[in-house]
Amino acid sequence: MEDVNTRKNSGGTATKRQSAKRVPASGAASERRDHLVKLAAEIFARKGFQATTVREIANEAGILSGSLYHHFDSKETIVDEVLSDFLRDLLGRYRAALERGGDPRTVLSEMVRIGFGTLEPHRAAITVMQNDWSYLRSLPGDRFDYLVKAEDEVERLWIEQIKRGQAEGQFRADVDPKLTYRMIRDTIWVAVRWFRPGGKLNTAGLAEHYITVLFDGVATGERSSQRA
């Protein structure tokens, strides 16, 4: 998969301006830009990307709309950065887990921990992905094509480990790898809607509980669902 840092963007002045604005700033300017991205991400998560205006982001930041354009050429540039940072971090962690190796159950358990571990630092990005995925993909051009590419790679990494576990006899052979992955994926990402930091379980505890249910189930005794 093409890295989200180097994904292809078709011509146009907006893309060129975007690239120019992504050149790392220094000192206070860089901190200010990061603050604006985080602030905008929270508004996107709360109101939805489509419903959020540049004026609202600027008002929340206590600046004029024109000042916001000093940092970003469009609202799309901001959400692009929010989602790119999330996917880059997620894929980097998954790849590192695979490089460390281990048996399929060990690797899959670590991937579950990584997924749940993103709920706090990337809560806003995950919420935007869930709420505005279809809209962002419908925008003209290929700016957000990387969303599908990233999703495809994540799915491939999970399915490969599930199939490896089946081939090595660690996982049941009568479950569908793709369906199993999608059920795991949805359990993790939907948790962002109800998980709140400071509750009975932190994300690490949540992950361990899910790993127990995933591999050991909730029923005792002989499995009634096992196919002959």
What amino acid occupies position 85?
A: D
pLDDT per residue as tens digits for the range 20-68: 345 455 567 778 889 999 999 999 999 999 999 999 999 999 998 888 9
Q: Residue range 184-202: average pLDDT?
A: 92
Closest alpha carbon to 207 in 116, 93, 97, 111: 116
Rg value, the chain, Cα: 20
- How confident is the model at residue 20, as a pLDDT? 37
Angle at 6 between CA 40 and CA 25, to 5 degrees: 50
User: Tokens in use for 191?
Assistant: 């948790």
> What fold does the segment set 74-216 form as a domain?
Tetracycline Repressor; domain 2 (1.10.357)
Given a cut of 80, whether residue 147 has pLDDT beyond it is: yes
- Residues with Cβ within 8 Å of 110's Cβ and at least 6 positions away in sequence, in order, are 97, 100, 102
**Would you list the domain boundaries of the chain?**
74-216
Closest alpha carbon to 217 in 179, 171, 186: 171
pTM: 0.82
pLDDT per residue as tens digits for the range 98-117: 999 999 999 999 999 999 99
pLDDT per residue as tens digits for the range 117-132: 999 999 999 999 999 9
First to last CA, the chain: 39
- How confident is the model at residue 220, as a pLDDT? 85
